Amino acid sequence: MTDTERAKLKDRIAVIAAWIVASLFFFPIFWMVLTSFKTELQAIAVPPLLVFEPTLENFSLIQERTDYTKYAWNSVVTSVGGTALALLIAIPSAYAMAFNPSRHTKDILMWMLSTKMLPAVGVLMPIYLISQKLGLLDTKFVLVVIYAMINLPIIMLILFNYFREIPKEILEASRMDGTSTYNEITQIVMPLAWGGIASTALLSIVLCWNEAFWAINLTASDAGTLAALVASFSSPEGLFWAKLSAVSTLACAPIVVFGWLCQKQLVQGLTFGAVK
């Protein structure tokens, strides 16, 4: 065998290995989706069924049994609401910091990031008791506020990085024409950084959607999100794997697609801008 042949063979083995590894990682997800189309009996069949007649029964049943749409709606409201609130606060701030940096700007951003390191369990008691006193337990409002706060530091940092890339000359030219600050943000900065803002929002929605700690501890049947609904399936009684799979598939599908779409921003956002 010549060297090129050997190199080619090695390459082919690497590609096959890559496919095998990827299939192993993806398998549990594939299995979950597959199980959601089985009947409960087929779901626990031994040996497991690969070929079967698919049913859509689970998807219609979960609505009756668990009021799926209510939880889904709660997830949508809390993750979109939390993200919107955070963006509303972050856009003007990040704009001011990016275009008028002072010697404190970096320290402020680093301090913001440090609030993200506060372990949730460390502040669970005060947040729980405050929400209880204010009658906010099991409301979407409390989750919206909390999700806005836990994502604000990341959003600030990514937006800051995006805004920094806008050439200052554009803003200076518009200022010469007497554009107000509000118009400057809405008509110049936001359109220019639109892609960045959209994908930052997407990242924030992904993180809120999957958040479980606060959802489990602060909500019950009224404001529970899908993450909390799925957690309620953990009781050992009854094997409702097919229905559980159907709920899970519906709960995860939009977010997995979002995740695929905003890989780049995810990397930036999750590493706080340190890996680009």
Partner 1 sequence: MNPTLVRWLQAPSIIVLFLWMIVPLSLTVYFSTIRYNLLYPERSGFVGLSNYEYFWTDPSFMPALLNTLILVGSVLAISVVLGLAISILIDRPFRGRGIVRVMLISPFFIMPTVNALIWKNMMMNPIYGLFAVVATAFGVEPIDWLTQLPLLSVIIIVSWQWTPFAILIFMTSLQSQDQEQKEAATLDGAGFWAQFWNLTLPHLARPISIVLLIQMIFHLSIFAEIYVTTGGGPGVQSTNLTYLIFTQALQGFDIGVASAGGVFAIILANIVAIFLIRAVGKTLTV
Interacting positions 59-118 with partner 1 (CB under 8 A): 89-90, 92-97, 99-101, 105-106, 108-110, 112-115, 117-118
- Shortest Cβ distance from residue 204 to partner 1 (Å)? 14
Which 201-220 positions form the footprint of partner 1 (CB under 8 A)? 206, 209-210, 212-213, 216-217
Q: Using CB under 8 A, which of 6, 8, 21, 187 touches partner 1?
A: 21
Q: Give start and end residues of each alpha helix (H) in the chain.
A: 3-35, 40-43, 57-66, 68-99, 105-115, 124-133, 140-164, 168-176, 181-183, 190-192, 194-210, 213-218, 226-231, 241-261, 263-270
- Shortest Cβ distance from residue 57 to partner 1 (Å)? 18
Interaction of residue 29 with partner 1, rule CB under 8 A: yes
Q: Which is nearer to partner 1, 139 or 179 (CB)?
A: 179
Query: What tokens were used for 14?
Result: 């690497």
The dihedral region occupied by 62, where left means phi > 0, alpha psi between -120 and 50, and beta the remainder, is alpha
Interaction of residue 251 with partner 1, rule CB under 8 A: yes
Residues in the chain: 276
94, HSE (Cβ side, Cα atoms, 13 Å): 28
Alpha carbons 63 and 71: distance in angstroms, whole number: 10
Instruction: Give the 3-state DSSP-derived string for 212-248, with helices as H, strands as E and coil as C.
Output: CHHHHHHCCCCCCCHHHHHHHHHCCCCCCHHHHHHHH
Q: Of 56-64, 121-129, 136-144, 186-194, which part binds partner 1 (CB under 8 A)?
A: 121-129
Q: Which is nearer to partner 1, 143 or 157 (CB)?
A: 157
Residues touching partner 1, count (CB under 8 A): 99
Q: Which is nearer to partner 1, 51 or 274 (CB)?
A: 274
Q: Are 155 and 90 in contact (CB under 8 A)?
A: yes
Which 128-167 positions form the footprint of partner 1 (CB under 8 A)? 128-130, 149, 152-153, 156-157, 164
Interaction of residue 259 with partner 1, rule CB under 8 A: yes
Q: Which is nearer to partner 1, 70 or 116 (CB)?
A: 116
Alpha carbons 88 and 85: distance in angstroms, whole number: 5
Interaction of residue 173 with partner 1, rule CB under 8 A: no
